[in-house]
Amino acid sequence: MTTQLSILGSTGSIGVSTLDVVQRHPQRYAVVALAAGRNIAKLAEQVRTFKPKLVSVLNQADIEKLQQLIPECHCTIVSGEAGAIQVATHPDADKVVSAMVGAAGLKPTYAAICTGKPVLLANKETLVMAGECMMAAAKEHHCTLLPIDSEHSAILQSMQGQPRDRITRIILTASGGPFRTRPQETFSKITREEALAHPNWNMGAKITIDSASMMNKGLEFIEAMWLFDLKPAQIDIVVHPQSIIHSMVEYCDGSVMAQLGMPDMRGPISYALAYPDRMASGITPMDFTKTSQLTFEAPDTKRFPCLRLARQAAEAGGTLPAVMNAANEIAVAAFLDNKIHFTKIADIVEETMKRHTTQRCGSIEDAVAADTWARETAKGLVA
């Protein structure tokens, strides 16, 4: 029986990799709906190849662009947040892949969870902003949340067959990004191009900058708390430059389970798609004779203050993680637009957090309100 997929963020790096895996298993998967960002040319290619029933774009102008590129296709085209929610809740979808970048994925992902269908989650910001609400909705609607992030997929795989109450801690691995050994006094001179040159992973611009600042690992720290029902003290971060071990789980007897593989997102994507089964993903097999060493070191929070800020937000809880995330999105966008220096990303996030009075985040509306406030505050700091 063919599994029908809705994909949020189809033209981003996760969406493209997901469709690559899907193409390798045409008898097993089909695409019923796609939601995309600004890459209309890429979306047009995807529509021709996968022939979805429904497609969502950002706005009305993009609808017209897409129609011009694919006049031969007769799928329904919608737009905006409402359009993305239509994709997330398409009645024919068996599973939903949530791969939109940033806070834009919050409401569509929540809508998908409320359908009760399995949600394959790559949009970590969703749990950072409103983890309590998302997990409560997943429980209420019997929705299975399966992580696509390589680190959280590694944790899930390392937990299989093990009693959850015997876990003492999880260890998230981080590559350290492109500036792990760069002299800190030169950080203010980091260029956009340097920050976008990740040593191991091929990702979109926003997540690549987050990896360079190590905010990405901070977001994953908070995501892991919610996904695996852990306290901050049960989560450690270790820098592993080779990106071969994707994360580890330690048990009460001292045993540590690790998941290894090449740094290729098709691995965790295929695992989430086939779960609890496994299937070919297309990634290059490991050759241990060419892997001369696996090294580890402690993260440097003085060089990468975003890690400290993320832990602070995780421990405070409430609306502070949503504020941190929103401020980071604004600061990263400003850096990519060459409006601020690289070091100002953390400065803007920290100052926005300092100005916020943390409240309980008991609803999606609370998360959205905190997000809106933080964006305006961060924009003022950028200006």
pLDDT of 229 > 90? The answer is yes
> 377 and 352 in contact (C-beta within 8 Å)?
yes
CB crowding 229-238: b at 16 or more within 10 Å, else e: ebebeebebb
| Nearest partner of 301 among 366, 354, 239, judged by Cα | 239
Higher pLDDT, 288 or 248: 248
pLDDT of residue 35: 98
> 222 and 172 in contact (C-beta within 8 Å)?
no
For β-strands 245-251 and 256-260, DSSP reports them as antiparallel
pLDDT of residue 44: 96
pLDDT in tens, 8-66: 999 999 999 999 999 999 999 999 999 998 899 999 999 999 999 999 999 999 999 99
pLDDT of residue 55: 97
Q: Which residue in this structure is represented by tokens 């720290």?
A: 221
* 381 — pLDDT class (breaks 50, 70, 90): very high
> 261 and 244 in contact (C-beta within 8 Å)?
yes
pLDDT of residue 120: 98
Strands (E), the chain: 3-8, 29-35, 54-57, 76-79, 95-98, 119-121, 145-147, 167-174, 235-239, 245-251, 256-260
Q: If DSSP states are collapsed to H, E and C, what string results for 332-350? A: HHHHHCCCCCCCHHHHHHH
| Nearest partner of 113 among 34, 271, 227, 231, judged by Cα | 227
Distance (Å) of CA 48 to CA 42, 61, 373: 10, 20, 40
pLDDT of residue 72: 85
| Nearest partner of 173 among 227, 264, 259, 237, judged by Cα | 237
Q: Where are the domains of the chain?
A: 3-147
pLDDT of 101 > 90? The answer is no
DSSP-assigned letter for residue 297: B
- The sign of the CA dihedral 94, 97, 98, 100 is negative
| Nearest partner of 161 among 273, 262, 255, judged by Cα | 255
- pTM score of the predicted model: 0.94
pLDDT of residue 200: 75
pLDDT of residue 1: 87
For β-strands 256-260 and 145-147, DSSP reports them as unpaired
pLDDT in tens, 350-373: 999 999 999 999 999 999 999 999
pLDDT of 108 > 90? The answer is yes
Least confident of 66-75, 108-117, 131-140: 66-75
pLDDT of residue 290: 86
Edge-to-edge strands, sheet with 235-239: 235-239, 167-174, 245-251, 256-260
Provide the percentage of residues in the chain whose pLDDT is more than 70.
Answer: 100
- According to CATH, the superfamily of the domain at 3-147 is NAD(P)-binding Rossmann-like Domain (3.40.50.720)
pLDDT of 237 > 80? The answer is yes
pLDDT of 203 > 80? The answer is no
pLDDT of residue 199: 75
* 197 — pLDDT class (breaks 50, 70, 90): confident
- The pair of structure tokens assigned to 281 is 């993903």
- The pair of structure tokens assigned to 53 is 């029933």
DSSP letters for 347-377: HHHHHHHHH-------SHHHHHHHHHHHHHH
DSSP letters for 218-231: HHHHHHHHHHHT--
As a whole number of angstroms, the distance between CA 65 and CA 70 comes to: 9
> 8 and 106 in contact (C-beta within 8 Å)?
no
* 329 — pLDDT class (breaks 50, 70, 90): very high
Residue 276 preceded by cis peptide, ω within 30:
yes
pLDDT of 233 > 80? The answer is yes
- The pair of structure tokens assigned to 298 is 């402690």
pLDDT of 146 > 90? The answer is yes
pLDDT of 201 > 80? The answer is no
